[in-house]
Chain A
Amino acid sequence: MDFVPHTEDDFRTMLDAIGAELFEDLLAGIPDELRRFELRLPPGMPEQTLRTLCAEMARRNANVTTHQVFLGGGAYDHFIPSVVTALASRSEFVTAYTPYQAEASQGNLQAMFEYQTAMCELTGMAISNSSLYDGASATAEAAIAALNVARARSKIVVSKSVHPDYRTVLGSYMHGLDVEVVEVPTTDNGRTDLAALEHATDEQTAAVIMQSPSFFGCVEPMADGAEIAHRSGALFVAVVNPISLGVLAPPGEYGADVAVGEAQPLGIPLAYGGPYLGFFTCSDKVMRKMPGRLVGMTKDRTGRRGFVLTLQAREQHIRRDKATSNICTNQALMALHALIYLCAVGRDGIREVGELNVRTSHYAAEKIAALPGFELRFEAPFFNEFVVRCPTDPAEINRDLWREAGIIGGLELGRWYPELKDCLMFCVTETKTKENIDAFASSLESLACRVA
């Protein structure tokens, strides 16, 4: 549908109806200094000049197609088969959200239904909604769902190995709900301290939240976490990277009640600020407390297959302030990317991608750990990210890698974890060849040698 802006006549009619002279009069309540702002733009220029200028500016951007990138930490560089963009760009599908009069868009609903099915298969969970905004908000929504299931409970226990940004968003969502959020430390091997987790989890706990692979890339003892949660009658929320589920145990297997996460790795390109894709899957028990849209398959009067939005009584447009969430839409276009990606790689492909990630990242980790002054910080098994203790200031290493080799280095963990201020976290996925990794390791070595 085209966007049709208001005409001058429309404005006049509306202003006359409410008895205002100018549109600006309606803004009189906003202090003047807040309304005055200047766009510092150069004077106008011909379109052709403008395009040249913008192309020149765009060329200065560094990204995964122009540079070697070893940065992860929540957003990941993976190969995206051409079919993903080709199919997802079809104009029939171009809507970011659930369409209005959703049932009139059977094709969109069918794609969402298939996305839900694919996510259930991948996670081993019973139910998937048709997506949320991102991994962080999906994690916070999982906490809300758990609080709604365990009505009398008012505490959320979360491991400090869950992405720091996710924990910040969780804090924002819990603020004002009178919910206590308890953070559980990790041990020196990089994994959640299970004794501390057990100690923090009690009869007041609605949910225990753990992430695997964790923010540090480590595979966490999720089954133990689930058992601790269930022993106290709390739900277990697993935050997982969906692209790891071809090789790691799916959350449905270790008793997760809710499995959420960021599905950007499934066919969605890296972009500063998104759009990304939050996925939310759960057990039957949590179904009626699940946030967001859910597409169901049914039959019409004449027995033909049809797709409908279902369980809408949970949702805000019907349930108002008692809705399970204030989200009333989904991330349809990104979910479509994930669906096409999963269909393109298939059952065997998702395992191969996982194995490749494990193989390349472990090759890189061994290479780097063998360099003078570098060592792996944690012993826990990892998927495609690992933490390395550095011989010199991590920020300097990153700066020199960029300046001297044009390499975008790792994540400086000191920003969130002061005890890891001498550490960098590197991400190595299937996009890196042996040659890429060897070149990266020699760059690191030459920097380190200079220090020594």
Chain B
Amino acid sequence: MEFPDELRYTKSHEWARLNGDKAVCGITDYAQHELSDVVYVELPDIGTEVTAGEPCAVVESVKIAADVYAPLSGKVTRINAELDGAPEMVNATPYGAGWLFEVEMSTLAEADALMSADEYKAHTEAEKH
């Protein structure tokens, strides 16, 4: 299971790749593994204001439809439209082609509250028990 160092993580298993005031977000390797085969992804509309900790997308697998919570507050600036035809990319490369959306952060302070790779790894191990 991968936990890339350069990313920030949430307890609800999303990741964020910070770049200036923008953050690309997705679900973690652990999350995609728990969900199993993803069959559909419902993304927010571009321009939607999302709030950290509030549901803003849905990842549907053969088992369940799970809410994705926004890791950070702000405006959605891009969404991964490729997922419409190839939702399985969320399973194959959750940190790459399987990204979900990009947020223009309304406050930079929120990013500090997210977990590091090590913290998140510990969190997933705790959840397993």
What residues of chain A have their CB less than 8 Å away from a CB belonging to chain B?
Answer: 151-152, 288, 313-314, 318-319, 322
Contact = CB atoms under 8 A, between A and B. Distances in A.
Nearest to B44: A151
21 contacts: A151-B45, A152-B45, A152-B48, A288-B40, A288-B42, A288-B60, A313-B39, A313-B40, A313-B60, A313-B61, A313-B62, A313-B63, A313-B64, A313-B65, A314-B65, A318-B64, A318-B65, A319-B64, A319-B65, A322-B65, A322-B67
A151 to B, nearest CB: 7
Nearest to B58: A322
Contacts of B60: 288, 313
Contacts of B42: 288
Contacts of B62: 313
A314 B48 CA distance: 23
Contacts of A319: 64-65
A308 to B, nearest CB: 11
A386 to B, nearest CB: 45
Interface string B8-47: 0000000000000000000000000000000110100100
Interface in B44-70: 45, 48, 60-65, 67
Contacts of A322: 65, 67
Contacts of B67: 322
Contacts of B64: 313, 318-319
A145 to B, nearest CB: 14
Pairs A-B, 3 closest by C-beta atoms: A313-B65, A313-B60, A319-B65
Given A151-B45, A318-B65, 7 more contacts: A152-B45, A288-B42, A313-B39, A313-B60, A313-B62, A314-B65, A318-B64
Most buried by A among B60, B61, B63: B60
Nearest to B62: A313
Contacts of B40: 288, 313
A312 to B, nearest CB: 9
A284 to B, nearest CB: 11
Contacts of A318: 64-65
A318 B45 CA distance: 25
A319 B40 CA distance: 14
A40 B62 CA distance: 54
B44 to A, nearest CB: 8
Nearest to B42: A288
A319 to B, nearest CB: 5
A313 B67 CA distance: 12
A314 B65 CA distance: 7
Nearest to A318: B64
Most buried by A among B48, B61, B65: B65
Nearest to A148: B42
A152 B47 CA distance: 11
A2 to B, nearest CB: 34
Contacts of B65: 313-314, 318-319, 322
Nearest to A289: B42
A319 B67 CA distance: 10
A314 B42 CA distance: 12
A93 to B, nearest CB: 29
Contacts of A313: 39-40, 60-65
Contacts of B61: 313
A147 to B, nearest CB: 14
A4 B76 CA distance: 56
Contacts of B48: 152
Contacts of B63: 313
B113 to A, nearest CB: 26
A96 to B, nearest CB: 27
A452 to B, nearest CB: 65
A288 B40 CA distance: 9
Interface string B61-105: 111110100000000000000000000000000000000000000
A387 to B, nearest CB: 44
